[in-house]
Chains A and B, each alone.
Chain A
């Protein structure tokens, strides 16, 4: 079956612009995660959605970052007023339920000029 998909695969933006990154999880998976992978920091957790529960936002680095998940499926990660330090690969993962194996998408490579 189809895996986790993310779009766009690459995004180049100018400092100060807003960007939206999209994640389509595996059908039927109730849990969805966003991570960020950068050279200096490795792979870091950002935010977690489980069903209709309030999301766990404990990993978001600043209030410029937000995410939503509509209809329990597609998720969008929004970064406002992008900074050069936001340059990284943003990875989405989904799992059948909380605590289950997480399956990752290919990521969106964000470059902030």
Chain B
């Protein structure tokens, strides 16, 4: 079993839709949670960084962490064609410092 599980998609939605992306993780030692966006043939770009359980909002993006369920989510409101990319969840424990990534979900927002 992988340490971080993520549905690979692809996920196709119409412009303006609310998008929900999810990951589960298995190790309770993970304390830091991130979402990265990766466009084709580019490096990952950090979208959200959270530490505690709860919600964190930044513009159209909301990250949600539920440590009791080991479940992390990213919501995108009013999705745009420019949001079409692969979204990677990542976790980190306090000891190791390297990131453990999910496999990525490919999102396509149709105009």
Q: What is A's interface to B at a CB cutoff of 8 Å? A: 4, 31, 33, 35, 42-45, 48, 50, 56, 59, 91, 93, 98-99, 101-107, 109
Residues of A contacting B88 with CB < 8 Å?
43
Contact B101 A104 (CB under 8 A): no
Contact A48 B101 (CB under 8 A): no
Question: In whole Å, how far is B3's beta carbon from the nearest beta carbon of chain A?
Answer: 11
Determine if B45 is an interface residue (Cβ-Cβ < 8 Å). Answer: yes
Chain A: interface secondary structure? Answer: strand
Contact A99 B92 (CB under 8 A): yes
Chain B: interface secondary structure? Answer: loop
Most chain A C-beta atoms within 10 Å of own C-beta, residue among B42, B43, B101: B43
**25 A-B residue contacts at CB 8 Å?**
A33-B99, A35-B99, A42-B101, A42-B102, A42-B103, A45-B98, A45-B99, A48-B97, A48-B98, A50-B97, A56-B96, A56-B98, A91-B44, A98-B97, A99-B32, A99-B92, A101-B49, A102-B99, A103-B46, A104-B36, A105-B43, A106-B41, A106-B43, A107-B42, A109-B41
Determine if B100 is an interface residue (Cβ-Cβ < 8 Å). Answer: yes
Contact B102 A99 (CB under 8 A): no
Q: What is B's interface to A at a CB cutoff of 8 Å? A: 32, 34, 36, 41-46, 49, 88, 92, 94, 96-104
Residues of B contacting A56 with CB < 8 Å?
96-98
Residues of B contacting A109 with CB < 8 Å?
41
Residue in contact with B43 in the complex, picked from A50, A91, A99, A101, CB distance below 8 Å: A91
In the assembled complex, the Cα of A103 lies from the Cα of B32 at a distance in Å of: 15
Residues of A contacting B94 with CB < 8 Å?
99
Residues of B contacting A33 with CB < 8 Å?
98-99
In the assembled complex, the Cα of A104 lies from the Cα of B101 at a distance in Å of: 14
Contact B97 A31 (CB under 8 A): yes
Given contacts A45-B99, A56-B96, list 4 more A-B pairs with CB under 8 A.
A42-B103, A56-B98, A91-B44, A104-B36
